[in-house]
Amino acid sequence: MSLSPTDVVEGISLSLTCRGDGNPAPFYSWYRNNQTMLQGQGGVYQFPSVRSEDSGTYHCKAENKYGPVNSTSVHINVEYSPRLPSVSVDPPGEVAVGSSVNLRCSSVANPAATYTWYKEDMTSPAADGHVFTIVDIRREHAGNYYCQARNSRGHIDSIPHLIVVSSSATAAVVGSITFLLLIALFLSAFIIFRRKMASRRTSETKERPGDGTKSSGQNSGGQLETPSTAAVGNSTDQDDIHYASVQFSKKQEDPVYSNFMPAKPKTHQNEEDVEVEYSMVMIKNTPCLRRPGGSEDSCALYSTVNKL
């Protein structure tokens, strides 16, 4: 029993043939990497178009009622040209003048691919190998770079990758702007925090019982107040203070006039609703009259009260 061929190229048509003698005619089974693929009477396994995933180790088994027999194994190697290469850059983004950058190219191929680096608008290669390192970057290094993967079955170019070179001054400006923005954000957060703390303290002070009430005999500085200053400084204390006016006049030796005007304490009601009473008392002594018969003198006392 034999298998043929063993070396193939992707895309071609391939047939595996298994032959064995037996009576009655044997029944054939096919295996790839020891996994059952196909069973049938025929001894031929057909690949209309070989693909890369068809690579592996194959064998067949012939069996009739008298027993099975296995063929020798054969390794099928499917060769193909490189797939589209991928490019990675380290570090990514803009590259500062004077620094270095590494470009890596990779592709799947059989046989393994070799790599060549090119810069667009230049005919000669920039470098060979899987990794292309540019040291001491200068402005003339800016541009599009691509790699080419090649093997005995073909070659293919990667998608161009742009290298942007920035001056050190630009990088310093960007760094300074970033630093200033961070400082501004920190200051804004600090100011907001202080305002919230001040607002919280104010709320706690207002909610604390007895904070807004002062003793009747003290002002905010802890000094004693006289009734007059207390009345002037705090209108609510006027309810506890009474004012009175007393006037005496003496127009002659005996008659005495007096005017006494008390005032009622003010309340928190409107002045129109408060009823205020004024009274005037006038006391007058008249000369004593002597009665006939030598009796004691009698004096008359007159008083006048006016009420408004």
pLDDT tens digit string along 235-294?
A: 444 444 444 444 544 444 444 444 445 555 554 444 444 454 545 555 555 555 555 555
Give the contacts of 70 (CB within 8 A, at least 6 positions apart).
59, 60, 61
- In DSSP notation, 60-72 reads EEEEETTEEEEPP
Phi, psi torsion values for 61, nearest 5 degrees: -135, 130
For 210, which DSSP code? T
C-alpha distances in Å from residue 124, one per residue of 134, 145, 151, 162, 224 = 16, 12, 19, 18, 101
pLDDT of residue 5: 56
pLDDT of residue 272: 47
The least confident of 101-105, 157-161, 282-286 is 282-286
Hey, is 234 helix, strand or coil?
coil
Q: Which residue has the higher pLDDT, 22 or 68?
A: 68
Q: Which residue has the higher pLDDT, 28 or 241?
A: 28
For 110, which DSSP code? B
pLDDT of residue 205: 75
Mean pLDDT over 5-26 rounds to 84
Are 119 and 145 contacting, i.e. CB atoms less than 8 angstroms apart? Answer: yes
The least confident of 102-106, 157-161, 191-195, 288-292 is 288-292
CB-based burial label for 118 (10 Å; 0-12, 13-18, 19+): buried
> 3-state SS of the chain: helix, strand, coil percent to 5?
20, 40, 45
Mean pLDDT over 11-22 rounds to 86
Structural domains in the chain plus CATH codes: 7-79 (2.60.40.10), 86-168 (2.60.40.10), 234-291+299-307 (no CATH)
Q: Is the pTM of this model over 0.85?
A: no
Mean pLDDT over 90-105 rounds to 91
The least confident of 56-70, 151-165, 203-217 is 203-217
Mean pLDDT over 207-234 rounds to 44
